[in-house]
Structure 1
Amino acid sequence: MPFNKIHVPEDLPQATYRAINDQLHESLVETCGSHEDDFFCLVCRYRAGDMIFHPLFLGQRDPDRTIVIEIALLSGREDAQKEELFKDVRKRLANIGFNPANSIMFLIENEPIDWSFSEDGSVKTAWAT
């Protein structure tokens, strides 16, 4: 049940960040077993200077072109799946013409009790009925 939040420079074209999310979603389905219908994303635009990225920490990047991908998902994936996700997303970024060096990704894991999609309460409650 991933929810993606992608932080992008404000001048990044909509077609580009939509393609990034499409590739991210496909990778989550293929590497982490996410359901095809679990397709949620919030795009947050930032102005030049609003994000501060060290240009050389663990790789070289353009701080003005860097995107940050946050992925909140249910816990339970193996470390190998997470590593494969990171590698696969970067490969996919390159395939759509986005420099993968200009990406930072991280996962936030949680449990069904931490999600709610309706007035019925948490996903844990919904799954129990």
Structure 2
Amino acid sequence: MPLVRIDLVRGRSTEAVKAIAEAVQRSLVDVLKVPERDRFQIVTQHEPDEIVALDAGLGFQRTSGTVIVHIFTQRGRGTEDKQRLYQALASRLAEAGVDGTDLFISYFENGPDDWSFADGRAQYVQGDLPVPGS
């Protein structure tokens, strides 16, 4: 059950934004085996000066097409799965018009007690939902 935040610079068409969001979801479904309807995304568009994403000293130049993807999900996936996810995201987002150097991915893990889907209840803890990977 990932919660995904997608931050990008304002100016893309509605279709392009939808293609980016769909590319992220397809990557999660295909690589992490997330169920199709397990889709929780927040897409936020920013003015060009509101996203600063340098190269961390790696020597490449980002453009105004920067896309930052934050993935919040249950812990338990290995490094190989994460690497495959990063590659899938880069590939699918390239198809949606995002250059690889403009993609920044942040992956956060937490546990079952860190989620409430509705009504102020922890559905994983209370047994309403199976804990992914268990």
TM-score by length of 2: 0.86
Query: TM-score, normalised on structure 1?
Result: 0.89
Q: 1:80 to 1:15 in 2, by over 3 A?
A: same
Q: CA deviation at 1:120?
A: 5.6
What is the CA distance between 1:64 and its match in structure 2? 2.1
Whole-angstrom CA distance in 1 between matches of 2:125 and 2:54: 43
Where do residues 1-129 of structure 1 align in structure 2 (5 Å cutoff)?
1-55=1-55, 57-58=57-58, 60-119=60-119, 121-127=121-127
Going from structure 1 to structure 2, the CA distance change for 1:32 and 1:48 (only over 3 Å counts) comes to same
Structure 2 contact 116–122 (Cα < 8 Å) conserved: yes
Q: Unpaired segments of 5 or more residues in structure 2?
A: 130-134
Match of 2:70, as an amino acid? E
Unaligned 5+ runs, structure 1? none
**RMSD between superposed Cα atoms in Å:** 1.9
State which drifts further: 13-22 or 36-45. 13-22
Task: Mark the CA change 1:67 to 1:59 in structure 2 (over 3 Å): closer, same or farther.
Answer: farther
Give % identity. Answer: 24
The DSSP-based 3-state class of the residue aligned with 1:72 is strand
